[in-house]
Amino acid sequence: MIYNIHHLHCGTMCPVCGPLFGQNRFTAKVICHCLLLETDQGLVLVDTGLGVQDYLHTKTRLGSFIARAGRIENNLELSAVAQIQRLGFQPKDVKHILLSHLDFDHAGGISDFPQATVHVLSSEYNAARNLKSFKSKARYKPQQFQQHRYWNFVEPLQGESWHNLHCVQGFQLFNDDILLIPLAGHTHGHCGIAIRKRDGWLFFCGDAYYSHLELAGGHSLKTLNQLERLFAVDNQQRIANLEKIKHLAQTEPAIELICAHDPIEFSRYSTL
C-alpha cells in the first residue's frame, strides 16, 4: 500500500541552448525529478538524481565534459538523501530504489543508500556494463553504482496490458500498486514506473519525453526532437512509445504523466 508520494528535485543542470530542451530561453533549466513513496514496505525512491559524491567530486565521477557542458548546480541540499532527511526520515529507511534507467543523472544517488535494493531491468544493467561506444560512455558512470550490493534484475518480458502499454512479468513486490512499464528507446532497458493512487495513477516516464509540450501537440519542437534522437539508442522505439504516452495524456484523465526533467511539471508538485 502507498500512503504518500513526495516529489523531489534532485539536481539542476543549466546547459546552453534552451530550445534543445523545449525551452524558450538561452540557458536551459533541466532538473532531476524523483519520487519518494511512503509504503507499507518502507520508503521507495523512484530514480535518485545526482548523489552526494557527484556534487563533491563532479569531474572525477562524471567526467570533465559533463561537468563543463552540463553546468551542474553544485548544491548538496538537492541530493535525495538531504531531502529525505529534511522530511524527517533516515537514509536507512529507504528500502527500495526503482530506476527508470542508469544514466548518470538518474543513478547518482544509489551510493547514498547502501542498504536499499535497486530494481532495474536486466537489459539496462547489461547495457550500462557494455561501454564500447561514445554514447554509452557519456551516459553511464559505473562508479556511481558498481559497489552497490543489493540488486533485483527484472527481466523485460511483456506481461499484462496496462492501458495501451504492458507491465513486465513477475514484478509482484508491491501487489500491483507499483508497475514497471518497459519504454525502450532512450536506452535499451528504459522503463516507466506506474504508481497507483486513490483516484487513478501517477505514471513516471523518465526520459521517454523531456517536455510537457510534447504531450499536448501543436508545438514546434524540432530542436528538442533532434536532441532526443541523438540520445536514443533506438529512435523508432522511442517514437513509438512516445506516441503511446501522448495517447494516454489525451484519453486517460485518471493518469497523471510526469517525466524526469521538466521544471514546469515539477512546479505543480513542489512543496520543498
pLDDT of residue 25: 80
Sort strands 158-162 and 151-154 into parallel, antiparallel or unpaired: unpaired
Summary mean pLDDT of the chain: 94
Q: In this predicted model, what pLDDT tens digit does every residue of 179-188 receive, in sequence order?
A: 999 999 999 9
pLDDT of residue 122: 98
* % the chain with pLDDT above 70: 99
Nearest residue to 113 (alpha-carbon basis) of 145, 78, 73, 74: 145
Whether residue 216 contacts residue 265, with contact meaning beta carbons closer than 8 Å, is answered with no
pLDDT of residue 70: 87
Q: Which residue has the higher pLDDT, 86 or 19?
A: 86
Whether residue 117 contacts residue 96, with contact meaning beta carbons closer than 8 Å, is answered with yes
- Residue labelled with grid coordinates 536532441: 227
pLDDT of residue 164: 97
- Name the packing angle between helices 235-251 and 222-231 (round to 10°): 130
* % the chain with pLDDT above 90: 87
Helices (H), 9-86: 52-56, 58-62, 64-69, 80-86
Instruction: Give burial (CB, 10 Å; 0-12/13-18/19+) of 140.
Output: buried
Where residue 271 falls among pLDDT bands split at 50, 70, 90? low
pLDDT of residue 21: 87
Where residue 202 falls among pLDDT bands split at 50, 70, 90? very high
Whether residue 78 contacts residue 9, with contact meaning beta carbons closer than 8 Å, is answered with yes
Q: Which residues of 22-56 are buried (b: 16+ CB within 10 A; e: fewer)?
A: bbeeeebbbbbbbbbbbbebebbbbbbbbbbbbbe
Whether residue 190 contacts residue 207, with contact meaning beta carbons closer than 8 Å, is answered with yes
Q: In this predicted model, what pLDDT tens digit does every residue of 9-46 receive, in sequence order?
A: 999 998 888 778 888 888 889 999 999 999 999 999 99
Q: In this predicted model, what pLDDT tens digit does every residue of 130-180 receive, in sequence order?
A: 999 999 999 999 999 999 999 999 999 999 999 999 999 989 999 999 999
CA 196 centroid distance within chain: 18
In the chain, the domains with their CATH numbers are 2-267 (3.60.15.10)
Q: In this predicted model, what pLDDT tens digit does every residue of 49-60 receive, in sequence order?
A: 999 999 999 999
Whether residue 113 contacts residue 90, with contact meaning beta carbons closer than 8 Å, is answered with no
pLDDT of residue 272: 44
pLDDT of residue 214: 95
d(CA 50, CA 75): 10
Which residues is 204 bridged to in the sheet? 193, 258
pLDDT of residue 13: 93
Q: 3-class secondary structure for 210-224?
A: CCCHHHHCCCCCHHH
Helices (H), 76-182: 80-86, 104-107, 122-128, 134-139
Task: For residue 91, give Cα distances in angstroms to 80, 88, 94, 111, 235.
Answer: 9, 10, 6, 11, 37
